[in-house]
A = this chain, B = another copy of it.
Amino acid sequence: MQPAPQTLGRRERNKQEKLDRITAAARELFTQYGVDEVTTQQVAEKADVGSGTLFLYAKTKAELLLLVHNVKYAQALTKGVDAAAAETEVVDAVMAIIRPIIECNRVQIENGRTYLKEIVFGDPAEPHHAEALSLTVRTEEAIADVLGRDEQLLARDPAKLARIVSAIMFISMTSSATKELTDAQVGDGIRDQISVLLGA
């Protein structure tokens, strides 16, 4: 019988520590150079693990990006939801949620696009992917919540409207046409479409 380990045994601790090192290494390299310019070897080296070990913690390179980017997305979402609470107009409130998300996916535009691509096209069975999906669900719920404030929109099914807003966001943030636009321009484009959606 063990003395009920407050630190969960050496094995679990080592695993956690390695995951931390890998996450930190990937975050730093991806953020600085962009996911496409970094090799999995480099991440493994920086994390001081074997190149094969990397793939025990993230099944693909894209999963590694999800692992890193989910954190930023979650922060953006929280920030947006808070900001939305202060808005009175529905569209303004929706945009308050969306704006931090735009920013977080365009700080390093290549990473943001790859992240969103992976959410739609990646394997939803992977754990980091599942987390990303739950973030998009939370985003839609937050938007639906805001839409539900309005009587008229309440009758039009906020959840479904939120789903459409989500589609608009995705295309507006990923389409290569928007690559050279500023964050503000992308935001305006989205706002414009949402206005049309909610009934001109």
Residues of A within 8 A of B (CB): 113, 117, 120-124, 155-157, 160-161, 163-164, 166-168, 170-171, 174-177, 192-193, 196-197, 199-200
Q: How many copies does the complex hold?
A: 2
Closest to A159 in B: B196
| A67 to B155 alpha-carbon distance, docked (Å) | 45
Interface of A is mostly: helix
Would you call A120 and B160 a contact (CB within 8 A)? no
- Chain B residues with Cβ below 8 Å from A167 are 164, 167-168, 170-171
| A199 to B164 alpha-carbon distance, docked (Å) | 13
A122 touching B176 in the complex, CB below 8 Å, given contacts A193-B163, A199-B199, A200-B157: yes
| A176 to B193 alpha-carbon distance, docked (Å) | 25
- Chain B residues with Cβ below 8 Å from A124 are 176-177
Which of B121, B123, B176, B197 is the one whose CB lies under 8 Å from A164? B197
- Shortest CB-to-CB span from A120 to chain B, Å, is 5
Closest to A158 in B: B196
Would you call B196 and A156 a contact (CB within 8 A)? yes
Would you call B200 and A197 a contact (CB within 8 A)? no
- Shortest CB-to-CB span from A74 to chain B, Å, is 21
A156 touching B113 in the complex, CB below 8 Å, given contacts A167-B171, A176-B124: no
| A137 to B1 alpha-carbon distance, docked (Å) | 69
Would you call A164 and B193 a contact (CB within 8 A)? yes
- Chain B residues with Cβ below 8 Å from A174 are 120-121
- Shortest CB-to-CB span from A164 to chain B, Å, is 6
